[in-house]
Structure 1
Amino acid sequence: MDTVNFETKADALNDSFNIVERQEAQDAALATLRSDVDEVKGRLEKVSRAAARPLLDGAGVGSGPEVKGFVDGYLRHGRETELKSMMTTVGAEGGFAVPREIDTIIARRMVEISPIRAVANVVRTGTSGFRRLISTGGTASGWVSETGARPETANPQLAEIVPPMGELYANPSATQAMLDDAAFDLEGWLANEIATEFARAEGAAFINGTGTNQPRGFLNATPSVAGDATRAFGSLQFIGSGNATGLGMAPEARLIDLVCQLKAPLRQGAVWVMNSTTLAAVRKLKTADGAFLWQPGLVNGQPDRLLGYAVIEAEDMPDVAADQFPIAFGNFKAGYLITERRQTSILRDPYTNKPYVQFYATRRVGGQVLDSDAIKLLRIAA
């Protein structure tokens, strides 16, 4: 018997139910998508508000795992176990070396506010000691013909530079409530406080330091009136102002003499160093035709100039007074050496001064005159 196949048409009512189900599924998918979009927008708004919130010092420290563990784990809550797993320099009594990102901010801030550091030769070392041999004279070259004999030259004279070093410290403190506030830029605040205190202390030492547990300032070098050819190594040449208590009758001439006492190659990069009181007197000096010796910077950010050379204000320089050295002129990049260990160490102390948490920060810094021909001084003397 033949088999008859019948084609069954879908009921129109069932098709309408399928359309409704598909519409409901589509609406659910759109609702889920809107929810995801709203969540992403919320996260972006939080990130935008965090980025727009100004930091206390505008530092902008990176948020790597080392920095996050150091700041959130140790600085905020005093947990040392996280640091011991990440850092090689560990000492519960001597402090922990700060991450490189924070140490870079401290170093950059110190350059901005420490006048001598900004123009001197800075060397970073891995140890607390530093030594350098420099040549102080002797002929190590000569002229001969193509086939002529090469006579023996004189042996060079060498001197060893060992800058005195000392431990520079700062002790900023904060309340625990400040540390518990997640919006408080702890790393930026701490870097700014440490750098400010370090710069203030070392700025004075680079100028007037005794060399005992601190750098030896360039004003503590032996002064001499002898020229570069005959002066003892390590002593700085000075010229007198021509007056026992002031800058004299023709101070502009003395300043020109001071510039010309410096060798021509060293004048490139040379600067004036004086405090604001001396600067006020120097800015009033005029030439014979009435023109000011002082030349204000023509572009924002460029230093003012005196006789064509930049002026650095250092408040630790002495005022104009009898037997003082209120003005220095020289190439400090060649003339003064600053040495420092590579990292700053911080010890967290929540016990000594409750309810404050103190942060004891240390750094080893040294300094000494490197090339005594590169710095000249003006002395208030007849």
Structure 2
Amino acid sequence: MDIQIPSQTVIGAAVDPLADPLTQSFDLVARQDKTESEVKALRSDVDEVKARLDRMGRAAVRPVIGEGSGEPSAEVKGFVDGYLRRGRETEVKSISGAVAKDGGYAVPREIDAMIASELKDISPIRAIAQVVQVGTSGYRKLVTTGGTASGWVGETGARPETDTPEFAEIAPPTGELYANPAASQSMLDDAAFDLEAWLASEIAMEFARAEGAAFVKGNGINQPRGFLSAPTSMAGDAVRTFGTLQYIGSGDADGFDAAPEARLIDLVHTMKAGHRQGASWVMNSATLSEVRKLKTTDGAFLWQPGLIEGQPDRLLGYPVVEAEDMPDVGAGAFPIAFGNFRAGYLIAERSATQILRDPFTNKPFVHFYATKRVGGQVLDSSAIKLLKIEA
């Protein structure tokens, strides 16, 4: 009778019980070493794949420099590596034929797009206003102050002449906006230093800080005229002078009265229904902190937080935009604006940003003096309403 001797399994391998024990030990150790090396190799492959995915993810959220392959274009390479890093103007001239007659060189459109993208993200009024790109600083636009008249007639009736609409000319005051970030030469010599992304971020942050204040309260002298600098009146749209913003009082000389929700509702409905589509509230964080505490007579909060990530908070159903340059609640101030800024405020800018490399002023740092012409003005005064703190 044949006797079957069962085999033993150790770490997934069949072991012969009749084999030499010393040989079995060596075999098991060899198999364990092989298994561990395979696991290490697999982990290394997984880590490499994760690193590639991380790099792809970072590239996906960054504006593409260059076209097609995602590699920097020859113009960007010459501008960044030749001019910005090493100060060689010949590379910029040979690629684009640029001449530094304005005190600097126009940045390539790829880098300018990065600056514009970040500006839109961090400049509150720019994100909701109408922005036009112009070739000169003398931009003008005609706006109708009254619609073309019309009438009803029969099929064969005469068509009398209708009234001609009236026009008003808009010429936004402009000024030169500048930023002057600095980097050490050792940073520029470091190939791992992402110069174009750093420069776009620094310029955008400084531009956003300066233009954010100008779009709200700029006086129009060598800078945009902010919407709070426009003349104001309590008169309605039908009788108010073009270019004058309408406001309503808060009902209290120092803040809100006993029924603040009624004042805010009145402010919303002073605006035409067509403009209310796309309208937003604009206020600073100090004012928003008071508004968030306001309740209706039945105890419900007027302010509603965004329910989805990225969705703005809402007040009476309209999104709230925080602009820190808006004034605080105080006697005679205009702390809250409500309007369709896409129709109500115009930003006119010359698209090309100029950069001058300056390695001499503050050695051992290299300054990048960036300039851009920007203008702004109220476009349609019936599209923006204000709340004034007064009795």
Deviation sequence 1:326-373 (CA, Å, 0-9, x none): 000010000000000111010000011111100000010000000000
Name the SS of the counterpart of 2:382 in structure 1. Answer: coil
Q: Contact between 1:208 and 1:220, CA under 8 Å: does it hold in 2? A: yes
Task: Calculate percent identity across the aligned residue pairs.
Answer: 69
Q: Which residue of 2 aligns with 1:153?
A: 162
Q: Distance in 1 between matches of 2:57 and 2:347?
A: 37
Q: Which whole-Å CA distance do the structure 1 matches of 2:163 and 2:58 have between them? A: 63
CA 1:73–1:53: 2 relative to 1, 3 Å: farther
Contact 2:92/2:98 (8 A) holds in 1: no
Deviations 1:138-162 (A, max 9, x none): 6432222222122222221110000
Q: Residues 90-131 of structure 1: CA distance to partner in whole angstroms, max 9, x if unpaired?
A: 216510000111000000000000000000000011222211
Paired position in structure 1 for 2:236: 227
Mapped pair 1:276 → 2:274: no
Q: Which residue of 1 aligns with 2:183?
A: 174
Partner of 2:315: 306
The answer to whether the 8 Å contact 2:356/2:370 transfers is: yes
For residue 53 of structure 1, report the CA deviation from its aligned partner: 11
Match of 2:329 in 1: 320
- Provide the residue aligned with 1:165 in structure 2: 174
Distance 2:189 2:141 in 1: 47
Instruction: Letter of the 1:223 partner, please give it.
Output: T
Check 1:317–1:179 CA distance in 2 against 1; reply closer, same or farther (3 A cut): same
Q: Is 1:353–2:353 an aligned residue pair?
A: no
User: How far apart are the structure 1 equivalents of 2:53 and 2:106?
Assistant: 32
Counterpart of 2:381 in 1: which secondary structure? Answer: coil
Matched, 1:339 2:355: no
**Which of 209, 212, 223 is equivalent to 1:203?**
212
Contact 1:59-1:188 within 8 A present in 2 as well: no
8 Å contact kept, 2:245–2:386: yes
- State whether residues 164 and 211 of structure 1, in contact with CA within 8 Å, keep that contact through their aligned partners in structure 2: yes
SS in 1 for 2:145: strand
1:66 aligns with 2:106: no
1:5 aligns with none
- CA distance in 2 between counterparts of 1:240 and 1:95 reads 49
In structure 1, the residue corresponding to 2:288 is in which secondary structure?
helix
- Matched with 2:193 is 184
Q: How far does the alpha carbon of each residue in 1:45-75 deviate from its partner, in whole angstroms, 9 at most, with x for none?
A: 9x959947979x9566441111000000000
Aligned counterpart, 1:11: none
User: Structure 2: how far apart are the matches of 1:88 and 1:125?
Assistant: 21
Letter in 2 for 1:258: L
Structure 2 counterpart of 1:287, which letter?
A: T
Matched residue, 1:99: 108
Partner of 2:41: none
Could you list the per-position Cα deviations for residues 272-299 of structure 1 after superposition, in whole angstroms to 9, with x for gaps in the alignment?
A: 0000000000000111111111111111
CA distance in 1, matches of 2:310, 2:360: 45
Equivalenced residue count is: 338
Find the aligned partners of 1:296 and 1:224 in 2 and give their Cα distance.
32
Matches within 5 A, 1:83-162: 83-91=92-100, 94-137=103-146, 139-162=148-171
Structure 1 residue aligned with 2:271? 262
Determine helix, strand or coil for the equivalent of 1:174. Answer: strand
Moved more, 140-149 or 207-216: 140-149
Distance 1:121 1:105, change over 3 A: same
Decide whether aligned partners of structure 1 residues 49 and 262 sit closer, same or farther in structure 2, where only a CA change above 3 A counts: closer
Take 1:368 and 1:183, find their aligned partners in 2: how far apart are those partners?
42
TM-score under structure 1 normalisation?
A: 0.85
Match in the other structure for 1:212: 221
Of 358, 383, 386, which residue of structure 2 is paired with 1:374?
A: 383
> Which secondary structure does the structure 2 equivalent of 1:373 belong to?
helix
Q: Is the 8 A contact 2:65 2:73 kept in 1?
A: no
Aligned to 2:9: none
Instruction: Give the aligned CA root-mean-square deviation in angstroms.
Output: 2.1
Q: Which amino acid aligns with 1:196?
A: M
Contact conserved, 2:133 with 2:351, CA < 8 A, in 1?
A: yes
Checking the alignment, whether the CA contact within 8 Å between 1:138 and 1:154 is kept in structure 2 is no
In the TM superposition, what whole-angstrom CA distance separates every residue of 1:173-229 from its partner, at most 9, and x where no partner exists? 011111001111111100000000001100000000001110000000000000000
CA distance in 2: counterparts of 1:336 and 1:268, whole angstroms = 15
| Bigger mean CA offset, 130-139 vs 187-196 | 130-139
Deviation at 1:324, TM superposition (A): 0.3
Which letter maps to 1:356?
Answer: F
Q: Secondary structure at the match of 1:310?
A: strand
Answer yes or no: is 1:364 the counterpart of 2:344: no
CA distance, structure 2, for counterparts of residue 334 and residue 138 of structure 1:
16
Structure 1: any 5+ residue segments left out of the alignment? 1-43
In structure 2, list runs of 5 or more residues that go unmatched: 1-47, 67-71
1:305-326 C-alpha deviation (Å, 9 max, x unpaired): 0000000000000000000000
Q: Distance in 2 between matches of 1:272 and 1:234?
A: 20
Match of residue 21 from structure 2: none
1:59 and 1:354 mapped to 2: Cα distance?
32
Tell me the alpha carbon deviations over residues 23-53 of structure 1, each in whole angstroms, 9 at most, x when there is no partner: xxxxxxxxxxxxxxxxxxxxx99x9599479
